[in-house]
């Protein structure tokens, strides 16, 4: 390999890595902005950040878990009828860490809220995937045990 080829190869790798870094930072910003908008007084202001094939899934083992909501159902049903009903005074989410690349971002957050049955504080990981510069999917992970017991008043019972 001659010097010219070596320099061109290096520049190509450098440009690819730089563009990935820019895309990573864009993805992190979009992920950070999304929940602020979705949980605001105008949740649909977050809709332009989502891909037309967007899905949201609350992961876990509760009655509201593992159901994929499309874009329309997320904004018209999940936000007002699930989140709004369980946390009528809203929730304060604080980002504690963010890990990402050009394809996805994981946002680690702590929540503070007064739920329908009293104090509800949980820790979250939101895993975002991106396509065409938009949010394609979000999977939400948290302590579904806290959701079941604090928000739905389920009781823990021993299994024989």
**At CA 146, angle to CA 140 and CA 150, rounded to 5?**
125
| pLDDT surpassing 90 at residue 69 | yes
With DSSP H G I counted as helix, E B as strand and the rest as coil, what are the percentages for the chain, rounded to 5? 40, 35, 20
82 three-state secondary structure: helix
Q: Which residue has the tokens 């874009």?
A: 71
Note the pLDDT of residue 39: 92
Residue 62 parent element (H or E):
none
Note the pLDDT of residue 63: 83
Percent of the chain surpassing pLDDT 90: 68
Q: What is the pLDDT of residues 142-151, one digit of tens each?
A: 998 888 888 7
Would you state the structure tokens that stand for residue 94, as one six-digit string? Answer: 């604080």
Q: What is the pLDDT of residues 90-143, one digit of tens each?
A: 999 999 999 999 999 999 999 999 988 889 899 999 999 999 999 999 999 999
Domain boundaries, the chain: 3-151
Instruction: Read off the pTM.
Output: 0.82
* CA separation for the pair 30, 106 (Å, rounded): 12
Q: Which CATH number fits domain 3-151: 3.10.450.50, 3.40.50.720, 3.40.1180.10, 3.40.50.10860?
A: 3.10.450.50
Please, what is the end-to-end C-alpha distance for the chain in angstroms?
Answer: 70
Note the pLDDT of residue 16: 47
Cα 104 to Cα 13, 18, 34, 65, 74: the distances in Å are 21, 16, 14, 22, 20
């Amino acid at each position: 390999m001659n010097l010219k080829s070596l320099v061109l190869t290096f520049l190509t790798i450098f440009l690819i890595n730089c563009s990935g870094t820019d895309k990573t930072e864009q993805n992190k910003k979009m992920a950070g902005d999304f929940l602020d908008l979705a949980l605001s007084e105008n949740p649909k202001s977050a809709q332009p950040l989502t891909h037309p094939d967007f899905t949201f899934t609350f992961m876990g083992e509760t009655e509201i878990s593992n159901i994929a909501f499309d874009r329309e159902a997320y904004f018209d049903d999940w936000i007002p009828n699930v989140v709004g009903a369980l946390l009528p005074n809203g929730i304060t989410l604080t980002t504690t860490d963010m890990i990402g690349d050009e394809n996805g971002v994981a946002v680690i957050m702590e929540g503070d809220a007064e739920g329908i049955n009293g104090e509800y504080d949980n820790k979250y990981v939101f895993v975002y995937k991106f396509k065409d510069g938009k949010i394609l999917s979000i999977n939400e992970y948290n302590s579904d045990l806290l959701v079941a017991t604090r928000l739905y008043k389920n009781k823990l019972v021993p299994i024989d």
